[in-house]
Amino acid sequence: MFLFDDYECIRQSWSVRQMRLVILDSYDDVSLWAAKYVRRRILDFNPGPDRYFTLGLPTGSTPLGMYKKLIEFHNAGKLCFKYVKTFNMDEYVGLQRNHPESYHTFMWQNFFKHIDIQPENAHILDGNAPDTVKECDEFENKIKESGGIELFIGGIGPDGHIAFNEPGSSLVSRTRVKTLNQDTIQANARFFDGEISKVPTEALTVGVGTVMDAREVMILITGAHKSFALHKAIEEGINHMWTVSAFQQHPKTIFICDEDATLELRVKTVKYFNGLMHVHNKLVEDPPEK
């Protein structure tokens, strides 16, 4: 039986500095587990008018399932976003805000319009700002003014990039303009009718350092095509050619992946983290009645 004291114990283990890897069977399981984790963190934080919970958010196909689950929780009255502020990781340069593939459109269509977030609390970089350097500096300032990010959620590219921190990006980088590399442009062409020439070549992106400053980081990795990146992320040294590997040094990082994404991991790594699942699963449970 799960007792209140056990729950307190698990809650305290959150403050233990460590990198966690949660391995689940499928993409759907990853989506549900991630959404439950986000819900639990927001509820435990107990946000209110003087105390907002600040979330960093990604785009891409990976987090879509998690957003759907969070919307379900909201619709079922189990999660409120009234006192949540969000900061998105990145945005293309030069796409109109209402372009179907802009990250503004993505976030409003797939998440924000379905929940009770106050529009002024949903921050997304403006890729059409006349002064992009100023836009990036102001974004960093807004994060600071909000008290920093409580939980930054990210996805990765098959080359191990986080946000648009392409291979070779500085691991202490801040929000800035980045030129996209060919792999990323090719990977994202699927959203632009498969036409590489339609994919923007620049983006505004938070830096690795910006995400590292969050009090907690959660990274979602699914699919066999990202298995080598997951191996580089957690089994080898920190390397600016695989920018997601920087999070090994973050005091509280949780990687959530499906079975397919573990294909390049060592058997002993998988066994070790699978053996911890009973502990990890407690992190998403509701507290028992006192």
- Note the residues at the interface with ligand GLP (CB under 6 A): 58-62, 89-90, 155-157, 163-164, 184, 188
Single out the catalytic residue among 91, 135, 140, 166.
166
Single out the catalytic residue among 91, 135, 159, 213.
159
Strand partners, 51: 48
| CA-based nearest residue to 154, from 43, 54, 55 | 55
Minimum CB distance to ligand GLP, residue 164 (Å): 5
Single out the catalytic residue among 104, 123, 161, 280.
161
Minimum CB distance to ligand GLP, residue 171 (Å): 17
Sheet of 252-258, strands arranged across: 18-24, 252-258, 216-221, 151-155, 53-57, 84-88, 122-123
Is 90 in the active site? yes
Is 161 in the active site? yes
Tokens matching residue 99: 């372009």
Q: Determine how many CB atoms are found less than 10 A away from the CB of residue 188.
A: 19
Single out the catalytic residue among 74, 90, 104, 280.
90
CA separation (Å) from 94 to 110, 126, 127, 177, 203? 21, 9, 6, 12, 8
Q: Which is nearer to ligand GLP, 47 or 246 (CB)?
A: 246
Q: Which is nearer to ligand GLP, 47 or 245 (CB)?
A: 245
| CA-based nearest residue to 121, from 84, 91, 89, 147 | 84
Contact 103, 91 (CB under 8 A): yes
77: left (phi over 0), alpha (psi -120 to 50) or beta: left
Q: Which is nearer to ligand GLP, 6 or 183 (CB)?
A: 183
Is 166 in the active site? yes
Sign of CA dihedral 256, 259, 262, 266: positive
Minimum CB distance to ligand GLP, residue 48 (Å): 30
Long-range CB contacts for residues 188-197, cutoff 8 Å, separation at least 24: 191/101, 192/101
Q: Which is nearer to ligand GLP, 47 or 65 (CB)?
A: 65
Is 116 in the active site? no
Q: Which is nearer to ligand GLP, 60 or 127 (CB)?
A: 60
* Active-site annotation, residues: 90, 159, 161, 166
